[in-house]
Structure 1
């Protein structure tokens, strides 16, 4: 496709070269991933690119360069290279990338989920519901990577939860070509703020909740909220919003004729009542349009019921039969790293969960308090180079709801792990709950398992199914569940089955 066709109707200025240059090698922000015939978009501040990397992109065969603002024609862009300026490269990128891949979002039902907590769980549930109810081929893009029909689509490790626009449109194109009828996408606040979700043609936008997180990116809760609200300001046709969260009312005001609600504590279009929560799952009655539907999910907790309501409502708004959707809920498979349970031989229950914000940690611990047979031992930490204000808050929550806290590292990145632990300890100490601290996460898990008695529950929180630890500039292989299995059953007899399971 010609560069001029990719930008047709979008404000741009040709600074040099021929705009009819054919773009045949893809579109990228990463200079080192440029290929012969590609379009290199020089996004200012991008870690793997920007105007200063134009020479690298051209050396790898890029056929054209897109720059923005007042950036001059980069050095090294010879007269034969087409250079085009746009007001904002991030706004232009999804336009060009979507057209390059044939606007793949138009050919599939697309659900985009945003909110602080629950995005991954809702995406897994929606995927499974559609597969179980209708045998649908579903694509998923999110924290756990990208897959279609359950088969992973390999991408570089650096690709984000919601990929940059060129990679996102590429993935949508692959999913369309592999026969996906629906795609479920996790839409992060930064993805919405930086226009990555533009031109994906979202059919249903889902809002789960808004609690403290990502203040290192947005600065204030209001800015964080405004980033989330972008999904409901022209990026989706219909909205499914959590009536139990006050932001839900703001979204309804933005889309008064195209939104429905779900909830437990308030009146909502999709409402759950008669909740019964236990260690093996939750039962409830789903109310919609005057009808009652008995439902059960193999996950404990009110927040799990809320996530199930969101997934069912989103799929129903796509036009699928409600009764068939609800009928699949008791067969949902475990969600990796989300309340994933492992029972040790000596009677200790271990829960591995992604809870890494004050709200999510409190919800998981409150759920455990509802049915834990004995003590709760919580292993957790806070990420480095991220919002420092939530560290003491998470320490206070863990101290209040646990019987023993084990403070440890959770992706310290380039920050001193001991400094992070000091911040968390400041929140735990006033609660009076005993605690230990180990910067080494493996040692922390070993200590917690050694301290646990039959009937105790050990919660390992913060990383969920992440397969690595980010320490310094390296990604070190590390899986919480794999370490739990290894340390809990060091002398397991050959042939003994794996007893890790979702609840």
Structure 2
């Protein structure tokens, strides 16, 4: 708890009305989360304007309203109205202060990049645990402490908003966590969700095609990623990605590069023999994680001894096998990620490679045709289906995908229902074949126009494999 005056001290703002010495118990930009003693941040978002919910926040116990506009009329007069330059930066500052700045007392590593964030954060968490630390991993697949997933009411987002992140970090500190490894998405960085969170090491993995439309173009997307370099004490960068190298050229902090070339960063002798996970991209992910441990002060020879124990997180090349039919569930939802997985699987497949995939709605449309072209290039058969269409017409999304190969290809089939697309692929597989189900990975829901519905690629594939065996036996 802090007084409002303490929260506003040294922060640029103007205040009018109400009792400025009110006790503050929390801060939020969601009026439904307001409790007695909370500050309500009435920010204008992409879809909703927080000022429309000021009265609701007051009725629920708000002790102050924060805005970043001066042209509003009919503001409440019986409660402090705080005008700040940027609501997003203020909520990050206030959340950190109310939580007692827990990030300052733990080692924090943030990983950004179009692909591989989840895998790298989990690799780092696993390595830290092997050295006797108590790490927390926060990202797309949830919140893990010591490798065990926590039950938490935080939203399912790659990078948590500050009002959730800092209380969570405080909880981690109370649980004895020594290191926090988190995913830093482009959207999270652009929205200042990690502002006022002290970060020791940043990792830049790659720049691919994703979220361009949400940022307003590729340059804006890259600018968002670049922000991480301005927030950390040291950077680890993929030397094999020229765009990544260019993005850190003007940094004044230490920059360490990683890559397959033995002249880059630390050279890991015999790592390929010790690293058991397939895929060149996963090898690079392991190198990024190793470099993080080296920067934290661990000896390379000691780190490499644990590399054979590394495991991929849920939904990343997650394998099911029955009667010599292998099914892989993977989160690949960008052209680069899909190509990397397809290339890896095609090299290990002695039968047919059958791919099931779609593209998310209300996301970068430019990648759809490219992903369709890649799927046909590497696969014997492709079933194009729904992913998370959200409020977009699923058939329109599929039409965009089909444009990647002219819309007329005998190897391609369209099956709108994802459940039946998975069943068709599994049932059509013969011994030696591989089925790749790409795009949703670990997700347990499908985002439709009517909202979220329960759906798991893994469970549907598991069920289909079992039923296939039963039918074949009979």
TM-score (norm 1): 0.89
**How many angstroms does 1:259 deviate by?**
0.9
1:333 maps onto 2:311 in alignment: yes
Say whether 1:175 aligns with 2:172: yes
Q: Which residue of 1 aligns with 2:383?
A: 406
Aligned residues: 469
1:285-364 superposed matches below 5 A:
286=268, 296-344=274-322, 346-364=323-341
Secondary structure of the residue aligned to 1:489 is helix
| Offset, 1:164 | 1.0
User: 1:19 & 1:321 partners in 2: Cα distance?
Assistant: 53
TM superposition shift of 1:363:
0.6
Report whether the alignment pairs 1:148 with 2:145: yes
Shift of 1:255: 2.6
Which residue of the partner structure matches residue 188 of structure 1? 185
Q: Which residue of 2 aligns with 1:438?
A: 415
In structure 2, C-alpha distance between the alignment counterparts of 1:473 and 1:480, rounded to whole Å:
20
Match of residue 260, structure 1, among 251, 256, 259: 256
Residue aligned with 2:200, SS = strand
- Whether contact under 8 Å (2:358, 2:385) holds in the other structure is yes
Which contiguous aligned blocks of 4+ residues in structure 1 show a shift greater than 6 angstroms?
Answer: none
Match of 1:246 among 242, 245, 251: 242
Q: Please say which of residues 214-223 and 116-125 is displaced more in the overlay.
A: 214-223
Structure 1 counterpart SS, 2:24: coil
Distance in 1 between the 2:31 and 2:436 partners? 42
- Structure 1 residue 267, shift from structure 2 partner: 3.7
In structure 1, the partner of 2:110 is 112
Higher fraction of helix: 2
In the other structure, the counterpart of 2:32 is 32
Rounded Cα–Cα distance in structure 2 between residues aligned with 1:151 and 1:57: 36
Question: Are residues 154 and 13 of structure 1, via their aligned partners in 2, closer, same or farther at CA, if it must alter by over 3 Å?
Answer: farther
Cα pair 1:203 1:318 within 8 Å, conserved: no
Higher mean displacement: 8-17 or 317-326: 317-326
1:51 is aligned to 51
Which digits, 9 at most, give the CA deviation of each residue in 1:392-448, with x for residues without a partner? Answer: 110001111111000001001111111111111111347946111111000100110
The equivalent residue for 1:4 is: 5
2:343 is aligned to: 366
Superposed counterparts of 1:417-428, under 5 Å: 417-428=394-405
Q: CA deviation at 1:46?
A: 6.0
Q: In 1, Cα distance between the equivalents of 2:467 and 2:336?
A: 34
Deviations along 1:168-216, one digit per CA (max 9) or x if unpaired, are 1111111111110000010000111111111110000000000110012
Deviations 1:255-280 (A, max 9, x none): 35511000015841134xxxxxxxxx
| Cα distance in structure 2, aligned partners of 1:32 and 1:340 | 37
1 CA distance for matches of 2:252 and 2:290? 21
Paired residues of 1:37 and 1:62 also in contact (CA < 8 A) = yes
Question: What SS class does the counterpart of residue 108 from structure 2 fall into?
Answer: strand
Alpha-carbon offset, residue 65 of structure 1: 1.3
1:157–1:461: structure 2 CA closer, same or farther, 3 Å change rule? farther
Alignment correspondent of 1:499: none
* Paired residues of 2:315 and 2:330 also in contact (CA < 8 A): yes
Q: Given the two structures, how large is their TM-score scaled by the length of structure 2?
A: 0.95
Q: Which is richer in strand? A: 1
What is the CA distance between 1:139 and its match in structure 2? Answer: 1.0
How has the CA–CA distance of structure 1 residues 265 and 372 changed in structure 2, closer, same or farther, with 3 Å as cutoff?
farther
Partners of 1:417 and 1:430 in 2: how far apart?
16
Give, in whole Å, the separation in 2 of the partners of 1:431 and 1:401: 17
What's the Cα RMSD here?
A: 1.9
Out of 425-434 and 351-360, give the one that drifted further: 425-434
Mapped to 1, the partners of 2:400 and 2:271 lie a distance apart of 46
CA contact (8 A) 1:111 1:185 kept: yes
Task: Label 1:341 to 1:479 Cα distance change in 2 as closer, same or farther (>3 A).
Answer: same
Is 1:69 paired with 2:69?
Answer: yes
What's the CA shift string for 1:362-413, capped at 9, x where partnerless?
A: 0110111222111100000000111111111100011111110000010011
For 1:254 and 1:341, the matched residues in 2 are separated by 42
Contact 1:241 1:251 in 2 (8 A): no
Change over 3 Å in CA distance of 1:473–1:173 after alignment to 2:
farther
Find 1:448's aligned residue among 422, 425, 429.
425
Once the two structures are superposed, residues 423-480 of structure 1 have per-residue CA deviations (whole angstroms, 9 ceiling, x without a partner) of 1111134794611111100010011011111101100000000011001131111111
> Is the CA contact 2:395–2:416 (under 8 Å) kept in the aligned structure 1?
yes
Contact conserved, 2:122 with 2:312, CA < 8 A, in 1? no
Can you give the 5+ residue segments of structure 2 that lack an aligned partner in the other structure? none
Whether the 8 Å contact between 2:67 and 2:87 is mirrored in structure 1 is yes
Deviations 1:288-333 (A, max 9, x none): xxxx767522310110000001111112212223222221110123
Contact 1:242 1:248 in 2 (8 A): yes
Counterpart position of 1:217: 214
Q: Answer yes or no: is the 8 Å Cα contact 1:295–1:327 preserved in 2.
A: no
Q: Secondary structure at the match of 2:264?
A: coil
CA contact (8 A) 2:125 2:147 kept: no
